[in-house]
């Protein structure tokens, strides 16, 4: 072999570089998936592009890429501000590249520009495809259709221990003004990156194994202007959330788009704090319902007292007009009704376990006040009735005369020779009509 034809490695690589620079155009727009993104200490960013063959689940192309420091600052902020999505591995991008070959470092793509709309379109398309499949499966609204329990206290939280959101959630929940109690159990999961799907599914499985111990599931992460939520956009995760037997509340802190799990979840809020507030509001509503129930009962009893007192009033009026009635008996009856109501109320008040149960005490106090007023009225009426009772009148020297068992009010109704009975305060006198 002719030694003159033998090249050094450097010479060969130089040849490749020269050939490439001669034959390749200046710039190309390419579409590819980022499989690695490594900003380094110098401020440059090293990436790796891949193209996947979905049918064979294999790679069909792969290339290194470099974004030099000056471009990296601009591209990163432009991309993230436009899409709300972090520039991270796993997303698809459309970038403007030049092809470079270096004798030592080999083949790589130098990135000069990016088209964020492509990534947004790709994420939206992926989301649409997942949702279409979920809908075709007939499970799209399954979680939404779960009834929200009356009391939601035992909360399974899926979050990352390092995420600020979990602390915010717990603080908001525990500092509620109504003294509501919540039981929070934490399930660790990755809230960004490739581990999201696997770790959230594992957490859901664990919760499902103990689903009787929980009322609801909350998936939360602290937000920010940009985040990498691509890990949430997967069919297995969306399907698991949609079919989960407990209602799921998401607060994964994304300002722009809902992820697929936001869409299939029972309730979607923007932030962990909002998720906590939702639970507080729900429980506060229960307290209000209890207050309403107590109020309704109170009003009904006051109404009942009024009815009884009016009944007595009628009796008293009739009695005052001189109609002899068994007023004492009626009085006793109404009085015993009032006493029963009173003792019912007392039972409610004195049984109070908690010294300062403001809600109940306030209502019961008001009810008792109403009762006392009504009873006072009854006593006044009773006094009036008593003042005019036949017994009182007789003791003043009046008498009642009966003919044929009926009180005589009309002299013409009494026939001569008929027998009369005259009642005075201490007895009866029997007599005969001599003259009319």
β pairing state of 406-407 and 45-53 = unpaired
**Selection from 28, 32, 26, 29 nearest residue 47 by Cα:** 32
| Nearer CB in complex with another protein: 229/348 | 348
| Nearer CB in complex with another protein: 199/283 | 283
Least distance in angstroms from the C-beta of 227 to another protein: 29
Stretch that binds another protein, among 40-48, 61-69, 355-363, 406-414 (CB under 8 A): 355-363
Q: Is 345 in the site for another protein (CB under 8 A)?
A: yes
Binding another protein (rule: CB under 8 A), the pick from 64, 112, 154, 318 is: 154
Interactions with another protein, residue window 257-296 (CB under 8 A): 283, 286-287, 289-290, 293-294, 296
Binding another protein (rule: CB under 8 A), the pick from 162, 178, 395, 428 is: 178
The rounded distance, in Å, linking the Cα atoms of 211 and 66 is 48
| Nearer CB in complex with another protein: 124/287 | 287
Conformational region of residue 84, where left means phi above 0, alpha means psi within -120 to 50, and beta covers everything else: left
Q: Is 185 in the site for another protein (CB under 8 A)?
A: yes
CA 302 to chain centre: 35
Q: Is 369 in the site for another protein (CB under 8 A)?
A: no
**Two structure tokens written together for 192:** 């960004």
Let me know how long the chain is: 436
User: Which 3 state secondary structure label does DSSP give 191?
Assistant: coil
Q: Is 301 in the site for another protein (CB under 8 A)?
A: yes
Stretch that binds another protein, among 249-257, 349-357, 371-379, 386-394 (CB under 8 A): 349-357
Q: Is 117 in the site for another protein (CB under 8 A)?
A: no
Residue 413 · residue 428 · CB < 8 Å = no
Q: Is 351 in the site for another protein (CB under 8 A)?
A: yes
Q: Is 353 in the site for another protein (CB under 8 A)?
A: yes
Site string for another protein, 314-343 (x = CB under 8 A): -----------------------x--xx-x
Give CA separation, 299 vs 275, 305, 394, in Å. 36, 10, 42
> How many residues bind to another protein according to rule CB under 8 A?
40
Site string for another protein, 210-229 (x = CB under 8 A): x--x----------------
User: Which residues of this protein are in contact with another protein, per CB under 8 A?
Assistant: 149-151, 153-154, 178-181, 183, 185, 210, 213, 283, 286-287, 289-290, 293-294, 296-297, 300-301, 304, 337, 340-341, 343-345, 347-348, 351-354, 357, 359-360
């Amino acid at each position: 072999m002719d030694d003159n034809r033998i090249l050094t490695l450097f010479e060969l690589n130089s040849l490749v570089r020269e050939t490439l620079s001669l034959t390749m155009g200046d710039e190309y727009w390419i579409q590819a998936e980022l499989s690695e993104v490594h900003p380094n200490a110098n401020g440059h960013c090293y990436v790796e592009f891949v193209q996947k063959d979905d049918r064979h689940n294999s790679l069909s192309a792969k290339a290194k890429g470099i974004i030099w420091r000056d471009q990296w600052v601009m591209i990163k902020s432009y991309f993230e501000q436009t899409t709300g999505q972090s520039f991270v591995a796993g997303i698809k991008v459309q970038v403007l590249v030049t092809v470079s070959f270096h004798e030592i470092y080999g083949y790589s793509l130098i990135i000069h520009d990016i088209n964020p709309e492509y990534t947004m379109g790709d994420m939206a398309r992926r989301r649409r495809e997942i949702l279409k499949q979920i809908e075709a499966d007939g499970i799209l609204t399954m979680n939404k259709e779960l009834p929200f329990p009356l009391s939601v206290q035992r909360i399974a939280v899926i979050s990352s221990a390092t995420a600020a959101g979990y602390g915010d959630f717990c603080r908001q929940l525990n500092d509620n003004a109504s003294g509501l109690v919540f039981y929070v159990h934490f399930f660790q999961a990755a809230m960004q990156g490739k581990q999201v799907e696997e770790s959230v599914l594992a957490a859901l499985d664990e919760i499902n194994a103990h689903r009787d111990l929980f009322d609801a599931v909350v998936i939360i992460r602290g937000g920010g202007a940009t985040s990498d939520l691509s890990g949430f956009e997967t069919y297995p995760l969306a399907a698991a959330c949609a079919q989960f037997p407990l209602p799921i509340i998401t607060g994964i802190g994304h300002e722009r788009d809902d992820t697929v799990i936001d869409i299939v979840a029972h309730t979607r809020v923007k932030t962990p704090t909002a998720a906590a507030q939702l639970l507080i509001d729900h429980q506060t509503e229960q307290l209000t319902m209890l207050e309403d129930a107590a109020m309704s009962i109170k009003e009904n009893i006051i109404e009942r007292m009024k009815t009884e007192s009016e009944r007595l009033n009628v009796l008293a009026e009739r009695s005052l007009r001189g109609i002899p009635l068994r007023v004492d008996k009626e009085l006793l009856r109404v009085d015993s009704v009032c006493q029963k109501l009173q003792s019912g109320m007392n039972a409610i008040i004195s049984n109070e376990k908690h010294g300062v149960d403001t809600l109940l005490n306030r209502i019961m106090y008001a009810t008792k006040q109403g009762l006392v007023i009504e009873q006072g009225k009854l006593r006044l009426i009773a006094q009036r009735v008593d003042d005019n009772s036949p017994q009182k009148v007789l003791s003043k020297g009046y008498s009642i005369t009966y003919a044929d068992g009926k009180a005589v009010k009309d002299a013409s109704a009494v026939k001569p020779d008929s027998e009369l009975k005259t009642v005075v305060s201490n007895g009866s006198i029997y007599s005969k009509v001599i003259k009319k």
